[in-house]
Amino acid sequence: MVLKLKQTDEWISEDAYLQGERLSDIKHEYIDGAVYAMAGASKNHQRITANVSGELWTQLKNTPCEAFASDIKVRVGGQFFYPDVMVVCEDDSDNAYYTETPVIIVEVLSKSTRRMDETAKKFAYQTLPTLQEYVLIEQDFVDVEVCRKSEGWVSRHYFMGDNVTFESVGLTLSIADIYQRVDNEDVTSFVASLDQS
């Protein structure tokens, strides 16, 4: 998703933000009193989100864990974000619109969101006690970056032909499955190489 410029210079309370979100047709993220509108996603963005969330839904069937895709907020201190995909296994909150306990968060990157996802959100998410993995997926080329708490949040990169394991939920996917139907040069080249073999 794309963050637009702040809509107002006025400070907004968390309560006012949460009440406003329930009435708004547009999603907004909240960062320390400032509200940012989110623009729509590309087809490739949606394809990646659907591929990952679909696999997670199947994997988590009949478990206490649930996958959420882009409409449920995560609260990190005085901030509220809409991750593209996240999994929550234990949620003590009685709030129906956000959680503070994801075990894995997935963000699909674009030129307009990359900086925020790789810096501010990454550092904020890593403060969540329950978070075990943070995943960044490029949509314009093939690159899946996984940062695991168990490895000191060091980045590991996966490319076409690789498999990646999301250890927090015990799911292994091929990178090809994550990029199924995605239209970019890396995917096209990979599919062409399979057709020639």
Helices (H) and strands (E) in the chain, counts: 6, 14
Q: What is the pLDDT of residues 30-48, one digit of tens each?
A: 988 888 888 778 899 999 9
Q: What is the pLDDT of residues 128-142, one digit of tens each?
A: 999 999 999 999 999
Tokens 């996984």 sit on residue: 146
The domain defined by 41-196 folds into tt1808, chain A (3.90.1570)
Q: What is the pLDDT of residues 65-99, one digit of tens each?
A: 999 998 899 999 989 999 999 999 988 777 888 99
Which pLDDT band holds residue 64 (cuts at 50, 70, 90)?
A: very high
Q: For 13-21, which contacts have Cβ atoms below 8 Å and span 24 or more sequence positions?
A: 14/78, 14/80, 17/80, 18/80, 18/97, 18/98, 21/73, 21/97
For 59, half-sphere exposure in the C-beta direction (CA atoms, 13 angstrom radius) is 20
CA-atom Rg of the chain in angstroms: 17
The per-residue pLDDT for 147 is 97
Which is it for the CA torsion 85, 7, 34, 18, positive or negative? negative
* 81 DSSP β-pair partners: 74
Which is it for the CA torsion 156, 188, 161, 89, positive or negative? positive
Give Cβ neighbours of residue 54 (< 8 Å, ≥ 6 apart): none
2 pLDDT exceeds 70? no
Q: What is the pLDDT of residues 126-179, one digit of tens each?
A: 999 999 999 999 999 999 999 999 999 999 999 999 999 999 999 999 999 999
Q: Residue 126 in contact with residue 153, Cβ under 8 Å?
A: yes
Which is it for the CA torsion 184, 186, 187, 190, positive or negative? positive
**For the chain, domain boundaries:** 41-196
Which pLDDT band holds residue 8 (cuts at 50, 70, 90)?
A: low
Higher pLDDT, 180 or 187: 180
The per-residue pLDDT for 9 is 61
